[in-house]
Amino acid sequence: MELRAFAERVLLTPDLEVKLQTPEGALTDAAPGPAARHAVPARPVNLQFAAPRRSPAMSRGEALRDERKRATAHHIMANHELQALEVMAWMLCAFPEAPCEFRSGLGWVMQEEQRHTRMHVERGRKLGLEFGDLPVNCYIWKKAMEFQSPLDYLAGLPLVFEACNLDHTLEFAAEFEAVGDLRSAALMRTIHDDEIRHVAFGIEWLRRLKPEHQTEWEAFETHLHWPLRASKARGDVFQWEARRAAGLSEEFISQVQQAPDD
């Protein structure tokens, strides 16, 4: 299957089952097509982006003893994973001139995002909530609309959103364990391991695409669009070892940890 066809299936098909269908066989990039920047992804009616402040807030800690709130947490995270998938598809359509190896890597990461979305959807269903029963936000998608280059994408999605998830996945795993939900905890740990590879993809390509005169940190900060900033690349419990496993340098990790909040 061509990468462009895969991207358009994810981006332009409203049927969730089709959007999350793993491509058969190897992905090729012989016909990347013309550049196209799609304003919104096609989604089923019950997963259309809601107006600001209509989607539910994330519950944490002891609140997760409530099964409904655990289901809601999976619903929110399913939407995060789906948005990441759609943003990656958008990138393939918007930047057909990007290096073939970079584009192929995106295709691989997209398949993991499909799996993550399915995992959260299925876990939410087990807890009594169908995906689409609650309003969903568009924050990740909205920020992607400011990306003007693959470097903007690398700084914003793998090195902020996914890097922050190195912390959040283990935070939620611990919180789910604390309330006795071992299946949800295991799910989060599985996603954590995948996020290490996704962050590794991000830093590898930042190094390969940045100007020679810039350091990794300079390239990272240069390509962030407010309100995304370095402090957004960390959660509450900072995971040094996960970042080392992803190939981030000690200096880069330290700068993320020490970045000011405002």
Please say whether the beta carbons of 161 and 139 come within 8 A. no
Query: Cα–Cα distance between 120 and 131 in angstroms, integer?
Result: 9
Task: Express each pLDDT in 168-218 by its tens digit.
Answer: 999 999 999 999 999 999 999 999 999 999 999 999 999 999 999 999 999
Residues 6+ apart with CB under 8 A from 241: none
Write down the domain spans for the chain.
Answer: 1-31+62-145, 146-262
Please say whether the beta carbons of 167 and 239 come within 8 A. yes
pTM attached to this predicted model: 0.97
Question: Using 50, 70 and 90 to split pLDDT, how confident is the model at 26?
Answer: very high
The amino acid that residue 81 corresponds to is E
* Among the listed residues 231, 230, 232, 256, the one whose alpha carbon sits nearest the alpha carbon of residue 243: 256
The burial class, CB within 10 Å (0-12 / 13-18 / 19+), for 198 is buried
Task: Express each pLDDT in 51-100 by its tens digit.
Answer: 988 999 999 999 999 999 999 999 999 999 999 999 999 999 999 999 99
Sign of CA dihedral 240, 241, 247, 250: positive
Please say whether the beta carbons of 127 and 142 come within 8 A. no
User: Which H helix or E strand runs over 233?
Assistant: none
